[in-house]
Structure 1
Amino acid sequence: MVRFMTLSLLLFPIYLLPGSGWSAPATVETQKQSSEQVQLQQARSAAQAKAWGLTDDEWAKFERLQSGPRQYWSPQLDPLTTLGVEADSDQERQRYAELQVRLEAKRAERELAYQKAYTAAWTRLFPGLVPVQGMSDAVTLSSNPRYAVFVEDPCSTCEASLRRWLSTSARLDVYLVGSQGDDARIQQWARKVGITPVQVNSGQVTLNHDRGRWFALGASRPLPARFQQVEGKWQRLD
C-alpha cells in the first residue's frame, strides 16, 4: 500500500503543477502567430505609405493623428490632407500640398481617360441615344443660371461663400474636392454650411463628389471656385 501511494503522488503533480513544460508548445505557436500578424501589418502600412508617396514614419504619424481628436473633427480625412493640416512647419505643409496636387492630377487623368473610353463606347453601342453628361448638363446659361461651385473641407472661406451665394437664391451644383466618394462626408459638410433638404429636393442645390472635375477645368487654388458655362466654355467667376 505504501508503494502504491508513493507512485500516485509522483504521477499526479505532472498535471496539477502550474507552469509545467506541457504549455510551452502553445506559447511558442501564439508568439509565432503574433509575430506574423505584426509583419503583415507592417507590410500593409508600408504599401499604403508608398501609394500615398509617404515615408513609413509619415504614415505612422498619420495613424497616430487618426487615433486622436482628428478622427472626430475630420472623420475619414485622407492621409495627405490630415498631415498637411497637422503639419509642424510651412515646409511640411508645402510638401503635403504638392504631393496631393500631383496625386489628384494623376487620378483626374485616369478618370478622364476612362470617361473618353466610356463616351466612345456609348456612341458606338447606342448611336441614337444621348448619354448623361454629368456636369456639362448641370450648368447652362439662362435667365436664372446655375453655377458649379468647388469647395473643400476644412475651408472657412468656402463655408462663408456658400452661405452668401445661397442667400441670393442662386442655383448651385456643389462639388466637394477630396471627398473620396464618401456620401456621409458631403452630407455632414452640407449640414454644417446650412444647406437644407428643401433646397436639395427642389433642385436649387445639388451635392456632388468632385471626382477630378476641378482639375479637368484646369483650376487652381484657392477654393472656393465658382464657374459658369458660357457658349460651351467654362469661365471662373471668382
Structure 2
Amino acid sequence: MKTFLICTVLSLFSLNANSQSVTSTAIVEVDRLDTPSVPLPISEIDKAQLWGLSPQEWERHNLLMLGIRGRLSSEKISPIEVLGIHAQSEAERERYAQMWAQLMLEDAERVLKFQRAYDQVIAELTKGIPLIDPKRLQNINRNNGLKLSSDDRILFFATLDCPACSVVYEQISKLQIEVISIDIYFVYVEGADQQEIRNWAQEVLISPSEVQLG
C-alpha cells in the first residue's frame, strides 16, 4: 500500500514538472516570434497551404493557441481568425479580415448551390407523395393532451399543392370557438399565386374580407 502511494505521488510530480516546462517553453517561443523557426513537418506545411498561410504564419497560430486564445476560443476557430485577432498592425488585421471574408463568401455560395441541388432532388423524389396523410387524422383525438385557452392563436401553415391541407384545416376550424384566432400562412408561393390563395379560402368557406395577402 505504501509503495502504491509513493508511485502515485511521483507520477503527479513528474506530470506537474512537465506541464511547467511546456508552459515556460510556450511563453519563450511566443516572445521570440521574430527569430528563425525550426522547419515545420510536411503535414503542418500542408495545413498552412490549405488556409493560404505561410509556414511562419501557421507556426504563430499554433503558438497563439497555447495562450489565452486557446483558452477562451473554441478549438474550431480558424487560424485566420486567430491571426486576425492577434494582428500586429492595422494592415495585417485588414489582410486577415479580407481573407476570412472571402473564404466565408465562397463557402456560402457552395452551401447554397448544394442546398438548391438537394431541394431539386428531394422534390423529384417526393413528387406525388402527400405532405399529410388525411387517413391518419381520423385516429387523432382532438383532446389528446391539447388544452387551449381563449387567448391562444393557432398558426396553420399550408402550400397550394397540398390537397390534404384543406382536410386538416377543416379539423382545425372546429377549434375556432375555443381560441382568439386561427392564422393561416401559405409557404413557397409567389405573387402570381395570390388568386389561388383566394380560391382556396373560398373553398374552405373563409370570407374574402378575412384574407390578407403580403
TM-score (norm. length: structure 1) = 0.37
Rg larger in structure: 2
Q: Which has the higher contact order (CA 8 A, sep 6+)?
A: 1
Structure in which a larger fraction of residues adopt strand: 1
